[in-house]
Structure 1
């Protein structure tokens, strides 16, 4: 484990999406204070300008890029600006994300689902595609940090679009960690529980192209009351979460010890471990199955 964080990161460059506030801004500040050049990217131009001023006041080298993560061409432009300004790119933090709308799957608005998938999933894919060639190019290695969620480790009722996309981010991280190992690029999935951010207000930045073009199914009054209650509960949980600044320090700590999964809430170990318990039980069942138990001694095919 590196003993001096400043020596590890100083003079290198990080690009962080969704960095005008919350987790993204806290990470920008933390890595900037460790001597990194920081590129903050966000869809909210006013908040982005404010974040840039705050970081500059701390004598952090910062570049601000307007970025809609659902547009690959904007990712390419942001990476090009990064290289033009700082010469090299060493770290990508895919942080931008949205919470969606809680509700029953049979009443889900397709445009909301498309929005959540495009931001939380395709935004990560586009970021990786734009940034990884530049991180590979200089040969010094680097980092990819994909911000997932504890929801990526366990399904959350009435939040299936959010949970599904965050589970996909975890799975992509696992794939890329193997894929990029030979290039000395460390890939990690950040899976926090509740953090004091504005994720429950993410509708404020929903792009016009995701405005519903079809009529949603009628929602019963009782369901409307429950959804309102769910939003209120989510807001309360988010606002009672850990400070983004604490999370940022934990990210650095976990990167320094080479963690692929970065957990910030050890109290969720048993909850997340429930999946592992159920998987073990399912494999035990398969081993006893008269249909498939003969496969137990077959070689495992490495993909």
Structure 2
């Protein structure tokens, strides 16, 4: 079997641990040069040294994904070290704070949206031109979540951000296809990572300054529930092997938990029922035979 990854270069955000590190190792095992970016530079160096000890080609760069200039720097460093960029893995993400609508901290929403959504946009904006310029094609892999396919109570910011990543990925599929750049969106359920501890790397610019009175007991209970859920997840190494499998067959949506099909099926069924209701509507039913307008 041919190896389409060998000799290519991948830039991976949030690569110091969890999904990012597992993907870095999996792609390195396929012969890729790996550019690892992370905001936690100490953990990044430790992880990178472990991969270098295995003989892999590794470059590390400090990367706060909410800072576009740092994305530009990592692309420049990748090209200087390895010549070309073929893949970007927009993996860095944060979980936010579980809580009711009225308890939601605006600063936390901005943090989640900036990291999980703008970080993906910045990664694509910085890396896609570098992938286009050599004309060999490549990959954009955006890490979303099953939360992007289903809303969850008390997790509005996280779910909204991951739904945005799904939609962004869908928008980029057709746009980048003429350039032979394949776009995939990874939607795992629970994976053993430290996303439930993402506060450890929260930037000062997102410090909470509001005077909202959060119920600390409920917040603690929510955090404990998140910890249990994450710790029950699949190993990140299993996810990484699933990603390789799915990329080889050019999957747009990459799922790791087939048992969650029932959840998305129920959603699609509800959506389809809503369209039937619109068709039967006295107000808009007459539009049923109109042409579908696309760009």
Whether 1:294 aligns to 2:286 is yes
Which of 290-299 and 87-96 deviates more?
A: 290-299
Residue 231 of structure 1, CA deviation: 1.1
Match of 1:57 in 2: 53
- Unaligned segments of structure 1, at least 5 residues: none
| CA–CA separation in structure 1 for the residues paired with 2:30 and 2:48 | 17
What are the residue-to-residue correspondences of 1:75-224 with 2, within 5 Å? 75-215=71-211, 217-219=212-214, 223-224=215-216
| CA–CA separation in structure 2 for the residues paired with 1:231 and 1:212 | 17
Q: Count how many residue pairs are aligned between Structure 1 and Structure 2.
A: 295
Q: Secondary structure at the match of 2:85?
A: coil
| CA–CA separation in structure 1 for the residues paired with 2:43 and 2:122 | 23
Whether 1:283 aligns to 2:270 is no
Whether 1:268 aligns to 2:264 is no
How large is the RMSD of aligned CA atoms in angstroms?
Answer: 0.8
Q: Secondary structure at the match of 2:277?
A: helix
String of CA shifts for 1:158-199, please: whole Å, max 9, x gaps.
Answer: 000000000000000000001101000000000000000000
Whether 1:244 aligns to 2:236 is yes
Q: Secondary structure at the match of 2:289?
A: coil
Q: Secondary structure at the match of 2:59?
A: strand
Match of 2:28 in 1: 32
Match of 1:44 in 2: 40
| CA–CA separation in structure 2 for the residues paired with 1:104 and 1:268 | 25
Q: Secondary structure at the match of 2:198?
A: helix
Moved over 3 A (4+): none
- Unaligned segments of structure 2, at least 5 residues: none
Residue 274 of structure 1, CA deviation: 1.9
Residue 273 of structure 1, CA deviation: 1.9
String of CA shifts for 1:20-77, please: whole Å, max 9, x gaps.
Answer: 0000000000000100000000000110100110110111000000000000000000
Residue 107 of structure 1, CA deviation: 1.3
Residue 151 of structure 1, CA deviation: 0.1
Residue 121 of structure 1, CA deviation: 0.4
Whether 1:8 aligns to 2:8 is no
Residue 226 of structure 1, CA deviation: 2.9
| CA–CA separation in structure 2 for the residues paired with 1:227 and 1:245 | 30
Match of 1:256 in 2: 248
TM-score with structure 2 length normalisation?
0.98
| CA–CA separation in structure 2 for the residues paired with 1:116 and 1:208 | 13
| CA–CA separation in structure 2 for the residues paired with 1:66 and 1:53 | 15
- Picking from 5, 15, 20, the partner of 1:19 is 15
Which of 206-215 and 179-188 deviates more?
A: 206-215
